[in-house]
A and B are shown apart, each in its own frame.
Chain A
Amino acid sequence: MNKQELVEAILKSKTSPYETKADAERAVKAVLESITAGIKKDGNVQLIGFGTFSLRKRSARKGRNPSTGEVIKIKASKTVGFRPGAALKEVASKSRAKIK
């Protein structure tokens, strides 16, 4: 599912407050934008039932270029982690994953 399909799924839902695709798309974008902003601002966004996004730090480490064997420095970096919430874990474990 991509963003377009997500927007369509929302439009089809009985509880959708939106009539047009443009409105629904703007709403989805606002939600995603604000989650990103929340991660940046607070370091974590906790959405009960869905899951928690959190900013994780990775410390600097040494790596090795596999083809030359040369040791290189890898800088400390940050990444966004996600821990699924109880409800999402539950439905995921029941789904028969048709994964690539």
Chain B
Amino acid sequence: MTKRDLVVRIAMQTGVNQRDVSDIVQLTLDSVVDELAAGRGVELRNFGVFSLKTRKKRVGRNPNEPENEVEIPERVVVKFKPGKTMRERVGCIDVD
């Protein structure tokens, strides 16, 4: 499913026109990105949690030039942990 498919789906379900749906989808994603850019996590109950994690700097090696060690600098990556409702809905959890 692409962003386009997502927009079409929401438009069909809500009866809102596709252009407005497209704006709100983009605005939602952008707001999450902005918050992460500011160094803060985003916790959306039942959907999931986006958090930032720092990867330590480490020494890597270019496989083509094994004699040179390359230092990979410290960086920040985005992590996602699915929430409870999402796990239930996609079938991650056995509902006994």
List chain A positions with a Cβ less than 8 A from chain B: 1-3, 6, 9-10, 13, 15-18, 27-28, 30-32, 34-42, 44-51, 53, 55, 75, 77-82, 84, 87-89, 91-99
Contact = CB atoms under 8 A, between A and B. Distances in A.
Interface of B: 1-3, 5-6, 9-10, 13-14, 20, 23-25, 27-29, 31-45, 47-48, 50-54, 75-80, 82, 85-87, 89-94
A89 B13 contact: no
Contacts of A46: 1-3
A96 B39 contact: yes
Contacts of A16: 27
Contacts of B6: 31, 34-35, 38, 45, 47
B36 A95 contact: yes
A77 B93 CA distance: 7
B1 A45 contact: yes
Contacts, number: 160
A80 B50 CA distance: 13
A81 B28 CA distance: 19
A45 B51 CA distance: 19
Contacts of B79: 82
A99 B53 contact: yes
Contacts of B29: 47, 49-50
Given A13-B27, A40-B90, 5 more contacts: A6-B28, A37-B9, A50-B32, A98-B39, A98-B40
6 contacts: A6-B44, A40-B91, A42-B1, A81-B80, A82-B48, A88-B33
Contacts of B54: 97, 99
A89 B24 contact: no
B36 A80 contact: no
